[in-house]
Structure 1
Amino acid sequence: MSLRIEPKEMAEVLVKVRKMALAHDMSIKLGKSLIMSGDLFPEDIAPVLAPNKYGNVAIFPMAWGFTHKSTPKPLVNCRVETADSKPLWRDSWYRRRCVIPASWYYEWGYPIFDNDSRSMIEHRNTKKIKFAIQTEGSDITYIAGLYRYEEHCGMQVPMFSILTREAAGTVRDIHDRMPLILDKDNVLDWIRPNGNPSAIVEKALTNMAFEQAVEYPRFPPETITA
């Protein structure tokens, strides 16, 4: 999975987060770009919604993917079915929840044809293609996540991971998993430290719009300045 952030749609958020001292420190220490728009991949820095010290929604820079000694790869996804029980995720599930706003996310899946008469085996043997998937009727897709702080390069770095669930709705025809997508009205309830995450999960959105993805340059020309 990867994400897409369109600079025009999220200009206000991007301008704000790029000015933060934390973002500049992370960029220097981790050797990562602060563009934070275009296509984003694991380990990139992204703008993330999380509670400030007053419990209100605020924007923060975070790096994508928890780290763990068991694997050299970042842990970019967490299954919502086990987030409240596995030691790696449990504390964040109850105390540190966040939301990643994106224009859409990418997923590799099987192509869909009108009047498809293929068998399941034939369907699964088809070459996968890249889809761009977003909340139906919205320019911004609010993806639920968890975060924590990790020691990297001598600083406490906020890291996030995306929660995934069993695919629902039309996404089931593409892939067996999908991110946990929230309605905008549920963002505050999700990130509130004393909230009930299990109740919000029951309200997750399933109506997604998708199309075959367009390949963009890794970092497209900027259209906004910080």
Structure 2
Amino acid sequence: MCTRYYVELSPELRPYVERAKHSRLKTRMVSSLGKEFRENGEIRPTDMVTVIAPSATGGKTAFPMVWGYHIPGVDRPVVNARAESAKEKKSFAEDWRKHRCIIPASYYFEWEHLKRPDGKVKTGQKYAIQPKGSSVTWIAGLYRMEEKNGLHYPVFTVLTREPSAELRKLHNRMPVILPESVIDDWLLPGSNPEEIINNALTDMVIERTN
């Protein structure tokens, strides 16, 4: 599961953030949606942030996007989608085939999920998690266009998967995190997402936060 992540303006991430920040689309989204563009810091569902997706000519570029799909019958934005079943779900199937994106992050957050004596689950310690040996966390996602106040704008959702044995101690899901070497393939509409996800990273550095 992924409902929080963090962006630092590192040399690797700053160019993408600057590209999205200075786009005309960002200006229109801020005006029409009444949202601020979040350059860095802790990112939450419904925030407008930088996401990497194909340009109109097929190249890799950065766009401002809002975190969360609005799906009829669901009373809150859908911020995660299961990678195992996305291709079969009406809300995600087309985007699984044609509209894949990368959410650039420094790390993501997860909380311990602890069972109480009554069987209910409560959250415990918060952890920051990123791939071992990397300062960037390239999170795989899907995107689509939505409409509000006459503006068509992009939204995204984060793909999740079964966790590694170590992460399972915290939660039963983790985001799909890809190595930088397969990002271009992931964004290409004609590529095979199932094959690319086989390269997903699971060896993570897990650190307690305050």
Scaled by the length of structure 2, the TM-score of the pair is 0.91
1:37 equivalent in alignment to 2:40: yes
1:202 equivalent in alignment to 2:198: yes
Q: How far apart are the structure 2 equivalents of 1:68 and 1:213?
A: 33
1:92 equivalent in alignment to 2:89: no
Unaligned runs of 5+ in 2: none
Report the counterpart of residue 68 of structure 1 in structure 2: 71
Identity %: 37
Shift of 1:25: 0.8
Report the counterpart of residue 52 of structure 2 in structure 1: 49
Matched to 2:6, the amino acid is: R
Report the counterpart of residue 102 of structure 1 in structure 2: 105
Alpha-carbon displacement from aligned partner over 1:29-50 (angstroms, at most 9, x marks no partner): 1111123210111110111111
For residue 129 of structure 2, the aligned residue among 128, 133, 145 is 133
Report the counterpart of residue 174 of structure 2 in structure 1: 178
Unaligned runs of 5+ in 1: 112-120, 215-226
Shift of 1:110: 4.9
- Kept in 2, the 8 Å contact 1:103–1:139? The answer is yes
- Kept in 1, the 8 Å contact 2:130–2:205? The answer is yes
Q: How far apart are the structure 2 equivalents of 1:11 and 1:157?
A: 22
For residue 153 of structure 2, the aligned residue among 127, 150, 157 is 157
Matched to 1:178, the amino acid is: M
SS of 1:27 mapped into structure 2: helix
Corresponding residue pairs, total: 206
SS of 1:66 mapped into structure 2: coil
Q: How far apart are the structure 2 equivalents of 1:182 and 1:206?
A: 9
SS of 1:68 mapped into structure 2: coil
Alpha-carbon displacement from aligned partner over 1:31-88 (angstroms, at most 9, x marks no partner): 1112321011111011111111222211111100000121221000000111000100
For residue 187 of structure 1, the aligned residue among 183, 186, 203 is 183
Shift of 1:19: 0.6
What value does the CA root-mean-square deviation take over the aligned residues? 2.1
- Kept in 1, the 8 Å contact 2:139–2:158? The answer is yes
Which 4+ stretches in 1 moved above 3 angstroms?
124-127
- Kept in 2, the 8 Å contact 1:169–1:206? The answer is no
SS of 2:91 mapped into structure 1: helix
Report the counterpart of residue 8 of structure 2 in structure 1: 6
Larger radius of gyration: 1
Shift of 1:195: 0.6
1:148 equivalent in alignment to 2:151: no
Q: How far apart are the structure 2 equivalents of 1:110 and 1:86?
A: 27
Scaled by the length of structure 1, the TM-score of the pair is 0.85
Shift of 1:109: 1.3
